[in-house]
Structure 1
Amino acid sequence: MTTLIICSIVVAILIGWLIFDYKAGRKNHLLTSKYTQYPLRKSNISVFIDGNDFYKDYFENIKNSTTYVHVLFFIVKNDKVSHEFLSILGDKAKEGLDVRLLLDYVGGSKLGKKKIQALKKQGVRIAFSHKPKLPYLFYTSQARNHRKITVIDGKTSYLGGFNIGKEYIGQDPKFGYWRDYHLRIQGEGVTDLQQQFLKDWYDSTGENDLNEPRFSTVSPKGESTHMFISTYGEKLDDHFIEFIQNAKQEIIICTPYFIPGKMILNELLEALSRGVQVKLVVPMGKDHPLVKEASLPYFGPLILAGGEIYQFFYGFFHAKIIIIDDKFCDIGTANFDKRSMYLNDEMNCLIYDPVFIEKVRSLINKDMNHSELLTYSAYEKRPLTKKIKEKFATMISHFL
């Protein structure tokens, strides 16, 4: 009995500390947040939906670089695909280029010390973002840099959902084919992605190159009007709500993790009540424990209100897209979940080019053709064990 009491006290203290740490850490974080809405720009924007096509273009542009390569990824695995990527970076560094690789502390943890040291010897400058630190150890261990930015010679840049690893080209049997959306941006917008990389590099290393002239050149205008938003665990939900409230005809949301919270769910239900079509495209499977279970409680109310939920079955679906009335398109790194809204650093591109939006819409239509429309009768047939998991997943959905 004494042991049980002691254990209960220890657990209660631990839970209390975690709650205090998180709340105090978030309060401190919001005081120093660097949310940025960049100016409207005009760039030439291409979209990649297949990992092999993306890597071919991406690796080739890095190989052809002449002055610098700045790379930020959430995840770089320790596998054959990653080694090819890192080898290219090492070769460019040996040529004398300024090559920097910034990785999330957790997402880049599989790289290994030997590989990191080898890259440094070749001249690659490596840093890690969001290392856990006191006094808010729990909060800082949860806040992740989820951005995926590359800038090459100040002329070509990339932003989107792909990381670096074999699963992104369909070589992991656990996932099969991997569907994602990643942008190549050439034009005025490159300078904004460059600035964001340098901000993150400064936050991680203390090295301030934000006013360095060679990183401040503005490329010629392109065809597509767009704007970047950079979020730090705040204001992303405000943007999502604004998108939904402005919709007149149709809302399309593509996301691997649909965990919007009650407030945004209610906005979607309100949109349905005023005659706006709401369509979700989500994966049939999952790549993390409990994320599917955390999504399911939101599906029922949406289906009953007339929403359509398409479950992509042709592999794993990792796209992060919102399209409003075919007039506005949001593509970037942020998922439609609480973690992206309230914890992660994210970067999204808001695109206002009807020709580009039409192209993306046609790609999503093809994804819907490789999806199963979830019916309420099928939704209701979930076994009791899954419903129990959903309750637990909902409790911790903030951290999934």
Structure 2
Amino acid sequence: MPSLFKRSLLPKLRSFPLTADAVGILSGAAQFRRCLLEKIASATRRIYIVALYLQQDEAGQEILDALHAAKLARPELDVVVVVDWLRAQRGLIGAGKQPGNSAWYQEMTRTHESVVPIYGVPVQTRELFGVLHLKGFVIDDCVIYSGASLNNVYLHKFDKYRYDRYHVLHNRELADSMQHLVQHGLVASKAVHRLDLPNLPTTRSLRNDIGDLRSRLKHAAYDTTRGTTDRTGLSVSPLLGVGKNNPLNRVICELIASAQQQLTICTPYFNLPLAIIREINRALARGVKIDIVVGDKTANDFYIPPSEPFRVISALPYLYEISLRRFAKRHQRNIDSGQLNLHLWLDGDNTYHLKGMWIDRRYTLLTGNNLNPRAFRLDLENALLIDDPYGEWLEPRRQELAEIFQHTRRIEHFQNLETLAEYPMGVAKFLKRVSRVRIERLLYRIL
């Protein structure tokens, strides 16, 4: 069954040429933290940090201290931090009422001689309906790209880590393009305000400006005018997307539709959009071998052990497992034949946050996109697509996949996954209730 998806964007994408030695892969969260701190300390022109959040904890303090030290040592350094507006003004889920990270940002600006401006970007008027989910740190002509935010677990500050992907790309044109979007597409907006200064405007008062920003972002794109459409070697294309049928979503679907031999997908929350499910089904029909790597439910960042009091958020990992079990049941024949391989990642009590795709021996997608309905409709997302038509970058790519698969086990049968009857009492009771009132489908769309 051939794909019905029109492949119109991939050939038109403008990209920046790369050399194989200009793209490095870091082996883990601790190395990611060390690399980030080293790059900040040695920066000479610019530091642009974009993340969902910069958390007030030991690792977050280490990053913010490093930024202040760099700015103090070189006042001419252009330092900008961009985080989600709403996420920065609330506490941790389940931790009670807290002032949020913005209070910490303000204290740091008040008590330091140097100034590191921290901007909050409101993608929507409510966090539930969309957040800033852009990734990428621009330091001079280097781009450090990861799906990770900045806190103890993402940066492996202590015993536990949250596993992600970590790439370092040395390319001035790419760095310029990513900085330009932050500077002119985000920070310049009337909806965007500094979180490190007191007397923040209310989100309600920004409602019209937020609507204008979201409308503009739906038509925004990275500046690739210095790029090329020639596919003469290794290259990278930055992609941006927010809302339904955006260019990033379309490229993701086109990539799956282009697969002929091998497709590998990583997602931490197994809740694939219908468009991706359809393309996976078509890929299976044309004989493509597919590997999908997800986290075991106990490796989900929302997982709460049954020994702790039940909270609604703790039901999410079980919802994702239910979705995975249904998918496995529908495709058991493909699993039996070895054409479809579903892998669960688990490494002690660490958590799993990988996203991205590997298509045949050519394309590699780096992204913070969770490949779920929320990412496809609500959040502001980005990605870097590496195109390797002549196999210049195959060995580092192979090594990254080998490291990912190191802590996985293959699901041999859908019955290997637990059912509702085996879930903790609080989780089972809640899931039965939402199923009865038919809001399960809504939950899958927004979580």
Q: Normalization by structure 2: what TM-score?
A: 0.70
Measured after TM superposition, the shift of residue 57 of structure 1 is 1.2
Matched, 1:364 2:406: no
Alignment of 1:183 with 2:167, yes or no, is yes
Please state if 1:233 is matched with 2:257: no
Q: Does 1:374 align with 2:394?
A: no
Aligned counterpart, 1:286: 300
Match of 2:25 in 1: 47
For residues 137 and 414 of structure 2, the distance between their equivalents in structure 1, rounded to whole angstroms, comes to 45
How many residue pairs are counted as aligned between the two chains? 347
1:264 aligned partner:
276
Q: In 2 relative to 1, CA 81–312 (structure 1 residues): closer, same or farther, beyond 3 Å?
A: same
Structure having the higher helix fraction is: 1
How far apart, CA to CA, are the structure 1 residues paired with 2:13 and 2:55? 31
Amino acid at match of 2:103: K
Of Structure 1 and Structure 2, the greater strand share is in 1
Question: 1:256·1:283 contact (CA, 8 Å) conserved in 2?
Answer: yes
% identical equivalent positions: 19
1:61 offset after TM fit, Å?
0.9
Q: Alignment partner of 1:339: what SS?
A: helix
> Per-residue CA shift, 1:170-218, capped at 9, x if unaligned?
4577xx44321122121132222112222222235389xxxxxxx9998
1:72 to 1:383, Cα distance in 2 relative to 1, 3 A: same
RMSD: 3.0
SS at match of 1:66: coil
Q: Which runs of 5+ in 2 are unaligned?
A: 1-11, 90-99, 195-222, 228-232, 303-312
Matched-pair contact (CA < 8 Å) for 1:144–1:344: yes
Provide the rounded CA distance (Å) in 1 between the counterparts of 2:329 and 2:362.
28
For the 8 Å contact 2:261–2:360, the answer to whether it is kept is yes
Change (3 A) 1:303 1:330: farther
Q: Against the structure 1 CA distance between its residues 85 and 259, is the aligned structure 2 distance closer, same or farther, given a 3 Å change threshold?
A: same
Partners of 2:380 and 2:123 in 1: how far apart? 13
Relative distance call for 1:84 and 1:341 in structure 2 (3 A) is same
- In structure 1, the residue matched to 2:65 is 87
* TM-score, with length taken from structure 1: 0.78
Equivalent position of 1:342 in the other structure = 377
CA displacement, residues 42-64 of structure 1 (integer Å, 9 cap, x when unaligned) = 23221224111111111111111
1:68-87 map, 5 Å: 68-87=46-65
Could you list the runs of 5+ residues in structure 1 that have no partner in the other structure? 1-36, 208-214
Asked if residue 58 in structure 1 is aligned to residue 36 in structure 2, the reply is yes
Q: How far is the alpha carbon of 1:264 from its aligned partner?
A: 2.0
Who is 1:205 aligned against?
192
- Of 229, 232, 243, 2:255 maps to 243
C-alpha distance in 2 between matches for 1:292 and 1:252: 23
For 1:355, what is the secondary structure of its paired residue? Answer: coil
- SS in structure 2 opposite 1:347? strand
Q: Aligned in 2, Cα 1:218/1:206: closer, same or farther, shift over 3 Å?
A: farther
Q: Deviations over 1:233-277 (max 9, x none)?
A: 342332222112111111100111221133321221221122111
Deviation at 1:117, TM superposition (A): 3.6
Structure 2 counterpart of 1:310: 343
AA in 1 matched with 2:377: Y
The structural deviation recorded for 1:112 is 3.9
Q: d(CA) in 2 for partners of 1:119 and 1:357?
A: 45
User: Which residue does the alignment assign to 2:139?
Assistant: 152
Q: Counterparts of 2:147 and 2:79 in 1: how far apart (Å)?
A: 22
What's the offset of the Cα at 1:396? 0.8
3-state SS of paired residue (1:184): strand
Q: Which residue of 1 aligns with 2:153?
A: 167
Q: Specify which of 118, 124, 136 is matched with residue 116 of structure 2.
A: 124
Structure 1 residues 50 and 376, CA gap change in structure 2 (3 angstroms): same
Alpha-carbon spacing, 1:328–1:206, altered in 2? closer, same or farther (3 Å): same
Instruction: Determine the C-alpha separation between the residues in 1 that align with 2:155 and 2:193.
Output: 35
Q: Which has the higher mean CA deviation after the structures are superposed, 360-369 or 383-392?
A: 383-392
1:128 offset after TM fit, Å? Answer: 0.2
Report the equivalent of 1:224.
234
Residue 301 and residue 237 in structure 1: after superposition, are their counterparts in 2 closer, same or farther (change >3 A)?
Answer: farther
Q: Does structure 1 conserve the Cα–Cα contact (< 8 Å) formed by 2:25 and 2:400?
A: no
